[in-house]
Chain A
């Protein structure tokens, strides 16, 4: 037993070092951009670099950050998941309804997460078994899950959540919001899974060349299910985080989140062609987008102008990436 853990920890650390170094240039540029951005904002407005604002920023980013993690798996596998915003709302509302109805918090959370994964599974089944293109399958789920959310909640906010659940979003640990630690935990888990697990390798292989992956014995069915279930699960986590933060179950929550999540992944270097992308890239991508929003608000920039800026950012990020690739080929 002792020996086992020993030999297991070694390769992990050696592999980590190697992969981090190999992945450095691209992620490093992103982080640099992000840092420059923060510095500029601090100079422009004294209100940016305050504990209060940063805490708020992190708290807001955590939700979309978690959703983008799930999206990264899907995009690496060569798919897309447009249903995350609706799944987020559905899981959030379901959890809220259960809690209000007297279900213990832990149980309600587990059920909500399971529901998220279940909707993801339905996506996976439609895509693999029904051969529906991911774009269409998850577009259908986006509408259906939103409809379900409205049905179960009567299109009304769910109020009267138990105190401890609501307080969770307000707790800080060593000065950082608890929600941030949920995100951090999932970031670490996702890095481990995408870089060091068999599932991670399979997802990359399928995204890069499905047929070659199949002929190498990779089970396309299970891995497709897995990818969309992870995405559904992450959306559900996001839904619970948001419900806690808003102190209410909100049926309209998470609208347009699918686009922000895709944008975060793409800005972070994931390719919609599949087979390419990193968790760290997505995390930084999500932070950049959130910071633009936040800084824009502080500076009183018209939110519509911000929207235009973010749109431009996504396209420019992909363009720069393509140009880099073109040069080396």
Chain B
């Protein structure tokens, strides 16, 4: 059976100082195929893609397009060959409008040299509408939510008419609805004969959208097969090299009668959110659910002190936190794992050990000087506990894979021994094995008497991990749901405003 290959990558190898990111990897893509690429954090998925896109140069190996060998020296060449990618990080110009981003570098001009803005925005808008993306072509990109930016990036790639489109963890920032929208777009592309490479840590997505799947482990290809021939457990086993038990490890769920650790009352910051109150008990995971852009992130940022609220109060173990700066929240034992780790969670140019200790240097210093051994010991401990994949603790964080970077942020607060942990989408871009480790860590934190506020747009996750869930819509509480009443439908109805159970929640929380 001879299939016409769109892309063939043969025996691709790539080493970085200290790691062999890819070791003789073969990868094929056919027209109209949706090819899933899975593997643990640091397995080499992004590296393989970046080589195809000309962002990295392979040490060895060949790339064939339509059976002909090509050399893709830089991203511009990849673009010329009609290869497009949506990366893990957003790559739009934030100051420009959506339309300008669409036409970046090729704005249509009239004979007088003026930009034809009507054409730019007209075409962009038509295209966005056609894909069902509710964004105005004229709004500047920085005003859009991360999810909207992601959708715009996807639309732009589709607009450019690429023959191969790569999605590197596209759903990390998306809510259910948008994920569905994305899948529609992918199916459309597939039916038009485009080859699609789809990277994700959410395996059920692989089964839903892909027809073929390739597993990478430690830079080698483990298996390539049609998705019908493999089940979820086998896939995980192939990725991680062992079987994983239950995903959501919780020893016990809370009955919410214990001591209150965190109390938030009537927290308000106009116009983002209003009158938010809740209590989190020792040993409890308190979920905050809402559609992307509902104000969850802003609420936790304010209670942590990253942003000053207009009014309302926060207390930890009964002691009022004077919310002015993050330092105040941290002193009271609050730790925030932010959703945008590169901008807010990490000093990416600095080493792993530095970042792990970043919030705790006051604990390991005397007379202003650091205890270097303690610093090293703590870093080693968390690198080991969370299985952070790095050649040494002195490696700069920016050289780690996405999931490993996230583990470094979590380590920072573990290291600080916070009592109240706020996790804002903590498993974004984290592989299955590490996810289970993170859930297990949450459980361990709870056993040690911590309280956890957990934000996730991913329903199975938040339903699996939380004791109670407060649903937020447009900055207001829509209702507090107890574990016994959890159901996807209920939560989604509340989050989208179809069911109004509001107000009463505040008094009972």
List residues of chain A with CB under 8 Å of any chain B CB: 4, 7-8, 10-12, 14-16, 18, 22, 192, 196-199, 201-202, 204-205, 208-209, 211-219, 275-276, 328-329
Give the docked Cα–Cα distance between A22 and B350 (Å).
Answer: 13
Shortest distance in angstroms between B444's beta carbon and chain A's nearest beta carbon?
Answer: 22
Whether B336 lies near A11 (C-beta < 8 A) is: no
A–B complex contacts, Cβ < 8 Å, 22 sampled: A7-B371, A11-B371, A14-B373, A14-B376, A15-B373, A15-B376, A22-B394, A196-B369, A197-B368, A198-B370, A204-B354, A205-B347, A208-B347, A208-B348, A212-B343, A212-B346, A214-B326, A215-B304, A215-B306, A215-B338, A219-B327, A329-B399
Shortest distance in angstroms between A64's beta carbon and chain B's nearest beta carbon?
Answer: 28
The one of A8, A205, A217 in contact with B350, judged by C-beta atoms closer than 8 angstroms, is A205
The one of A209, A215, A329 in contact with B326, judged by C-beta atoms closer than 8 angstroms, is A215
Whether B16 lies near A328 (C-beta < 8 A) is: yes
Give the docked Cα–Cα distance between A202 and B375 (Å).
Answer: 14
Shortest distance in angstroms between B409's beta carbon and chain A's nearest beta carbon?
Answer: 9
The one of A4, A18, A205, A275 in contact with B358, judged by C-beta atoms closer than 8 angstroms, is A205
B382-411 residues at the A interface, CB under 8 angstroms: 394, 399
Give the docked Cα–Cα distance between A208 and B326 (Å).
Answer: 18
Whether B362 lies near A198 (C-beta < 8 A) is: yes
List residues of chain B with CB under 8 Å of any chain A CB: 16-17, 304, 306, 325-327, 330-331, 336, 338, 343-350, 354, 357-359, 361-362, 365-366, 368-376, 394, 399, 412
Task: For B349, list chain A residues within 8 Å (CB).
Answer: 208-209, 275-276
Most buried by A among B354, B361, B399: B361
A interface majority secondary structure: helix
Shortest distance in angstroms between A298's beta carbon and chain B's nearest beta carbon?
Answer: 40
Closest chain A residue, CB of each to CB of B336: A215
Query: Which 7 A-B pairs rank lowest in CB-CB distance, beginning with the nearest?
Result: A15-B372, A208-B347, A11-B372, A217-B330, A11-B373, A216-B359, A217-B327
Shortest distance in angstroms between B372's beta carbon and chain A's nearest beta carbon?
Answer: 3
Whether A12 lies near B372 (C-beta < 8 A) is: yes
- Starting from the known contacts A198-B365, A214-B306, A275-B347, 10 additional A-B residue pairs (CB-CB under 8 Å) come to A14-B372, A18-B376, A196-B369, A197-B370, A198-B361, A198-B369, A202-B361, A205-B354, A212-B345, A329-B399
Task: For A15, list chain B residues within 8 Å (CB).
Answer: 370, 372-373, 375-376
Task: For A192, list chain B residues within 8 Å (CB).
Answer: 369
The one of B16, B17, B326, B365 in contact with A216, judged by C-beta atoms closer than 8 angstroms, is B326
Give the docked Cα–Cα distance between A298 and B279 (Å).
Answer: 76
Whether A209 lies near B347 (C-beta < 8 A) is: yes
Known: A205-B358, A212-B358, A328-B17. A8 touches B348 (CB 8 A): no
Whether B348 lies near A216 (C-beta < 8 A) is: no
Give the docked Cα–Cα distance between A192 and B372 (Å).
Answer: 12
Closest chain A residue, CB of each to CB of B397: A208
